[in-house]
Amino acid sequence: MDLKLSGRTALITGSSKGIGLAVAQWFAREGVHVRLVARSAELLAKQAAAIGKATGVTATTLAADLSDAAAREKVFKAFPDVDILVNNAGAIPGGSIHDVDERAWRAGWDLKVYGYVGLTRHYLGEMKQRRRGVIINIIGLGGERLDATYIAGAMGNAGLMAFTRAIGGTSTEFGVRVIGVNPGPVLTDRVEVLGRKRAATLLGDENRWKESFARMPFGRPATCDEVAAMVVFLASDLCSYVSGTIVTVDGGLAHRGGMP
């Protein structure tokens, strides 16, 4: 299927690995020039070179800590003219209200919550002037399936869901679409970290973290490619009437009884 994205430009944050990297690769295969942003300059350069070689698109990078407002402004100044913004950088720590201290809580929100809000503020204004553009916020199932053992993430994700719906409900007046994607468990390094913490809390042994897979939909977590394919489809003109909504990619987990 031709998504008619060729020649456009997408900025993807947190794109040195995991979901963000998969999104960049999928966009590139559709002929989209990609701008990769994450903290590791070395890893970004390696991934950009591979993408460029495999697809022929322009893949450029900028290392930045998006928890810092000045860094977000630097990204915007470096890449002001993008058709698609994918907010993906973020890692809110797992744990109960007693496990996550204020410093860790604020650090997680500075990167993901305020990082998404800050970049959206920058690019939404530019897109409104051009009367075109798409912003996709990759959020997470924690905002729907509220879990007291992931309290900082549950609150942060729920807030980003509200943010996405509110902004996306009015951005269409200027030809801009804002959409959220809520992945369920995805087989990434982060899932392992959170899974180990949860297994330690609930089972007393962090090495038993894979045991939860058996109870997941289809008996496994999602793949990064499955999430990336949805993001690229939503960014295309085939979804030109979609804005202010959240698309959940979780195999139905949000509506499943019991713990995964």
In a domain, 43, yes or no: yes
* pTM of the full structure: 0.91
Which residue type sits at 3? L
Query: Which pLDDT tens digits describe the chain residue by residue (260 residues)?
Result: 789 999 999 999 999 999 999 999 999 999 999 999 999 999 999 999 999 999 999 999 999 999 999 999 999 999 999 999 999 998 898 899 999 999 999 999 999 999 999 999 999 999 999 999 999 999 999 888 888 999 999 999 999 999 999 999 999 999 999 999 999 989 887 778 877 887 888 889 999 988 877 788 998 899 999 999 999 999 999 999 999 999 999 999 888 765 54
Q: What values do phi and psi take at 100, rounded to 5?
A: -100, 110
Please give the tally of structural domains in the chain.
1
Alpha-carbon separation of residue 192 from 49, 103, 237 (angstroms): 28, 23, 35
In a domain, 259, yes or no: no
In a domain, 2, yes or no: no
Rg (CA), the chain: 18
Angle between helices 18-29 and 224-235 (to 10 degrees): 50
Neighbours of 81 (CB within 10 A): 11
* DSSP run (H or E) holding 160: helix 151-170
List % helix, strand, coil for the chain (3-state, nearest 5). Answer: 55, 15, 30
- CA dist., res. 29 & res. 45, Å (int): 18
- What is the domain-level CATH number for residue 78? 3.40.50.720
Residue range of the domain that includes 135: 9-186+222-247
In a domain, 108, yes or no: yes
In a domain, 182, yes or no: yes
Contact 24, 49 (CB under 8 A): no
DSSP track, 35-90: EEEES-HHHHHHHHHHHHHHH-S-EEEEE--TTSHHHHHHHHHHS---SEEEE---
CA 92 to chain centre: 12
**By C-alpha distance, which of 192, 98, 109, 220 is closest to 155?**
109
CB environment 68-77: b (16+ within 10 A), e (fewer):
eeebbeebbe
Residue 248, C-beta contacts closer than 8 angstroms, at least 6 positions apart:
141, 144, 181, 182, 184, 254
Neighbours of 23 (CB within 10 A): 32
In a domain, 4, yes or no: no
Tokens (6 digits) for 24:
């960049």
In a domain, 205, yes or no: no
